[in-house]
């Protein structure tokens, strides 16, 4: 190995980031949809299963993040209750329909949904159901991985085929990027760092569009800064009754 392993990982991440940010047209379109959603008092819904649930948390109640965000965070699909069990549940058809009974997605809304493989039932059905209600669906996935595997949903579809727009994280098949001699699998997953960078970039671009139109968006400020507390208390008073988990 000619470089230190951490440098190989850093190089891999930087290469993938450069590729990801070449999706300029998609970033512009996604930002326009987010801005239009907020102009119309819609909601930004965000979801993911397994490690992809971190994408939902990335823009929820976050310093610099929009207040009108509703994350779809289901403990049984996350890792802190039963990590291996969540793998089985994300493959279960019909689970998404019950989950969405708590979230009134409408045509004014946008759903950001993340799945590295894009092959499992829950994210696929979340996308299908959101589109049925008229919401825009933006997908974050690993296109190469998704194309290399079969769908685990009875429709035979994968997540990238269901989004109104999809972003590729340009990851390795299997996500982990760095091989070691003597180790069968690779290490160093890249989907989170690439995907969250893309999501934050879209949010930033959306703010620019809103301000250009004379609209000041409601944004959380770090509660650990001197100015953040009053700003956030006002937003919490308004949105806590409307946002599950806030």
pLDDT at residue 230 in the model:
87
Q: Which of 78, 116, 82 is nearest to 99 (CA)?
A: 78
pLDDT of 113 higher than 80: yes
Residue 178 bridge partners (DSSP): 187
Torsion sign (Cα): 149, 76, 133, 191: negative
Mean pLDDT of 231-246: 94
pTM of the model: 0.95
> Looking at 2-11, 142-151, 153-162, 227-236, which range is the least confident one?
227-236
Q: What is the CATH number of the domain that holds 192?
A: 3.40.50.10490
Identify the pLDDT of residue 106. Answer: 96
Residue ranges making up the domain that contains 150: 5-239
- Domain presence at residue 37: yes
Is residue 191 domain-resident?
Answer: yes
Which three-class secondary structure state does DSSP give residue 171? coil
Residue pair 46/200 in contact (Cβ under 8 Å)? The answer is no
**Is residue 246 domain-resident?**
no
Q: What is the pLDDT of residue 63?
A: 94
- Note whether residue 244 is domain-resident: no
Give, to the nearest 10 degrees, the angle between helix 24-39 and helix 191-212.
50
Q: How many domains does the chain have?
A: 1
Q: Is the pLDDT of residue 233 over 70?
A: yes
Residue 245 lies inside a defined structural domain of this protein: no
Q: Quick one: pLDDT at residue 186? A: 96
Average pLDDT over all residues of the chain: 94
Q: Residue 145: inside a domain, yes or no?
A: yes
Opening angle at CA 92, ends 89 and 94, nearest 5: 125
Q: Which residue has the higher pLDDT, 192 or 223?
A: 192
Cβ burial 17-27 (10 Å sphere, 16+ → b, else e): beebeebeebb
Distance CA 52, CA 59 (A): 13
The sheet with strand 69-72 has its strands ordered as: 69-72, 44-48, 110-114, 136-141, 165-168
| Mean predicted confidence (pLDDT) in 82-102 | 90
Residue with tokens 């972003």: 167
pLDDT band of 191, cuts 50, 70, 90: very high
Pure H helices in the chain: 5-20, 24-39, 53-58, 83-89, 95-100, 121-132, 143-148, 191-212, 228-239
- The confidence score (pLDDT) of residue 1 equals 65
Which range is least confidently modeled, 72-76, 159-163, 210-214? 72-76
């Amino acid at each position: 190995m000619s470089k230190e392993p951490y440098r190989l990982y850093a190089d891999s991440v930087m290469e993938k980031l450069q590729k990801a940010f070449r999706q300029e047209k998609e970033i512009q379109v996604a930002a326009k949809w987010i801005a239009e959603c907020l102009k119309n008092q819609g909601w930004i819904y965000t979801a993911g299963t397994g490690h992809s649930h971190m994408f939902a948390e990335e823009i929820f109640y976050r310093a610099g993040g929009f207040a009108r965000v509703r994350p779809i965070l289901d403990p049984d699909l996350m890792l802190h209750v039963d990590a291996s069990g969540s793998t089985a549940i994300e493959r279960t058809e019909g689970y998404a329909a019950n989950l969405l009974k708590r979230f009134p997605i409408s045509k004014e809304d946008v759903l950001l949904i993340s799945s590295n493989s894009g092959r499992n039932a829950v994210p696929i059905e979340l996308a299908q159901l959101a589109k049925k209600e008229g919401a825009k669906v933006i997908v974050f996935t690993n296109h190469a991985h998704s194309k290399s595997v079969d769908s685990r949903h009875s429709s035979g579809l994968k997540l990238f085929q269901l989004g109104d727009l999809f972003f590729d994280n340009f990851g390795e098949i299997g996500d982990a990027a760095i091989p070691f001699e003597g180790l069968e699998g690779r290490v160093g997953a890249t989907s989170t760092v690439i995907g969250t960078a893309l999501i934050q970039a879209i949010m930033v671009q959306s703010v620019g569009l809103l301000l250009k139109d004379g609209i000041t968006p409601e944004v959380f400020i770090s509660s650990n800064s001197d100015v953040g507390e009053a700003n956030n208390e006002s937003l919490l008073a308004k949105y806590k009754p409307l946002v599950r988990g806030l």
